[in-house]
Amino acid sequence: MLLHYLRLEPEKLRAAMKKRGAKVDIDELIRLDKQVSILLQELGKLNEQKNIAAKNRDIKTGAKLKKESEKLIAKLRPLQQRQFDLEGEVPNVPLSEVHAGGEDDAKPLGKPVGKLPKIKEPKDHIELGTALDILDVERGAKVAGSRFYYLKNQAVELEFALINFVGKILHDKGFRFLLGPQLLSEKAMMAGGYLGKARDEVYKTQDGLYLIGTSEQSMLAYHLDEIIEVPQRYASFSTCFRREAGSYGKDVKGIIRTHQFDKIEMFSFVAPEESEGEHRLMVAIEEEILKKLEIPYRKMLLAAGDLSMASAKTIDLESWIPSQRRYRETHSCSNCTDWQADRAHIRFKNLRDKNEYVHTLNGTAIAIGRILVALLENHQQKDGSIRIPRALQPYCGFKEIKAK
């Protein structure tokens, strides 16, 4: 798709990068594409001549052509590497409905959903969790540093309940479950665009593998270099690891922004004409989960400058956090069109029986840490206990969490 823009619609690509606020040298990419194309054509002609010489058993001509090919390859390789490096910096083209702007320019989609709880002086999740002996941030920091924590007692039971509760919803919606590697190769991470500008967010091991920041990375890689049938819908539970390198000073207190958390993610591979509808479906599932958990939320369309490298359109769901008296993101859902599939080489047979790149989409089903914050704070009662939403009670076996 990038080559299409470079060769046929370079001005559209320039406009898209300007909309995103991305600094991409389009002219250099066009120049490299032309140079590499010319050299590949020359190499192809030399190979044809070498084949003819081999058939004619013309050893002298064959040796001469081999040297010419080696010189051409030596000239070609650094250009291809430069081209590869630059292409890795080009983010996805935003869909037409995505507006320009940055992190603070998200637009609400409709009105907020759900009634805000009437709590005169809401306690935050740390005070609530510490008093109920279900959360220990201090010991987490003692053994691993800031942005780590222990869940204890009924909070642990609540996590398992949430996993089973969401798992049942996704099973009924036709999602198939995967448990994949939480360490991936550089090829797998590069394919999804997770080592571009976000490289500083990723933990790398001494063996050259990368800890996943979300199971969408592992699910995308599941069909790396394959031709598949569509649609394919997956859901995966994983522990997620993020360095949070660009968030110094933000949400240091509590468990909203941490280096390690558990999450269930949705991931879909679909035909291009189905991706818009799939995006609506996944957002609707996220909304269903929040409604059943009785958490007030609002739906936001992210601006182009706040999209991830791979995303062409992202919708966030922000849950109400009483102690902060504002909405905070707990769910995100992105349509990545064919950007990841192009890099990961994942295709399907279209109606014309031609190989075509799939569209990929990812969406949060539930991020345990953030949803626990919303649950504890929205369902806190005057005596400091926590009311469990009715839909969740069958999965945890208790109706409230009380101080012992």
Is the separation of the CB atoms in 286 and 316 below 8 Å? no
CA distance 86 to 82: 6
From the candidates 20, 147, 233, 242, which is the catalytic residue?
Answer: 242
CA distance 261 to 370: 9
Structure-token pair, residue 196: 């571009």
Predicted local distance difference test score (pLDDT) of residue 397:
93
CA distances from 253 to 48, 125, 213, 305 (A): 66, 10, 21, 27
From the candidates 147, 233, 347, 370, which is the catalytic residue?
Answer: 370
Catalytic status, residue 265: no
Structure-token pair, residue 341: 């599939």
Tokens 């009437």 found at: 118
Predicted local distance difference test score (pLDDT) of residue 244:
86
Predicted local distance difference test score (pLDDT) of residue 85:
87
Predicted local distance difference test score (pLDDT) of residue 249:
65
Nearest of 200, 218, 301 to residue 267 by alpha carbon: 218
Nearest of 315, 330, 325 to residue 372 by alpha carbon: 330
Angle at CA 97, nearest 5°, toward 96 and 98?
A: 90
Catalytic status, residue 390: no
Nearest of 4, 99, 89, 120 to residue 306 by alpha carbon: 99
Catalytic status, residue 199: no
Catalytic status, residue 242: yes
From the candidates 268, 308, 323, 332, which is the catalytic residue?
Answer: 332
Rounded to 10 degrees, the C-alpha dihedral 25/31/34/37 comes to -70
CA distance 238 to 112: 30
CA distance 358 to 355: 9
Predicted local distance difference test score (pLDDT) of residue 335:
98
Predicted local distance difference test score (pLDDT) of residue 4:
87
Note the pTM of the prediction, 2 decimals.
0.93
From the candidates 87, 276, 329, 356, which is the catalytic residue?
Answer: 329
Q: How far is CA 110 from the centre of its chain?
A: 24
**HSE, side-chain direction, 13 A CA sphere, residue 217:** 26
Catalytic status, residue 57: no
Is the separation of the CB atoms in 98 and 312 below 8 Å? yes
User: What are the pLDDT digits (tens) for 228-271?
Assistant: 999 999 999 999 999 986 666 677 688 999 999 999 999 999 99
From the candidates 257, 274, 287, 385, which is the catalytic residue?
Answer: 257
Name residue 316's beta-bridge partners: 300, 332
List domains and CATH numbers for the chain.
2-87 (1.10.287.40), 107-401 (3.30.930.10)
**HSE, side-chain direction, 13 A CA sphere, residue 49:** 16
Average pLDDT, the chain: 95
CA distance 328 to 321: 7
Pairing relationship of beta strands 232-241 and 176-178 according to DSSP bridges:
parallel
* Burial environment of residue 403 by CB neighbours within 10 A (0 to 12, 13 to 18, 19 or more): exposed
Predicted local distance difference test score (pLDDT) of residue 199:
77
* Burial environment of residue 213 by CB neighbours within 10 A (0 to 12, 13 to 18, 19 or more): buried
Is the separation of the CB atoms in 318 and 297 below 8 Å? yes
Predicted local distance difference test score (pLDDT) of residue 150:
97
Q: Which helix (H) or strand (E) holds 400?
A: strand 400-401
pLDDT over 70, % of the chain:
98
CA distance 265 to 71: 49
Predicted local distance difference test score (pLDDT) of residue 201:
87
CA distance 389 to 372: 12
Predicted local distance difference test score (pLDDT) of residue 212:
97
Residue 212 three-state SS: coil
3-state SS record for 98-130: CCCCCCCCCEECCCCECCCCCCCCCCCHHHHHH
Rounded to the nearest 5°, which phi and psi values hold at 166?
-70, -40
Residues in the chain with pLDDT < 70? 197-198, 245-249, 252
Nearest of 368, 374, 299 to residue 333 by alpha carbon: 299
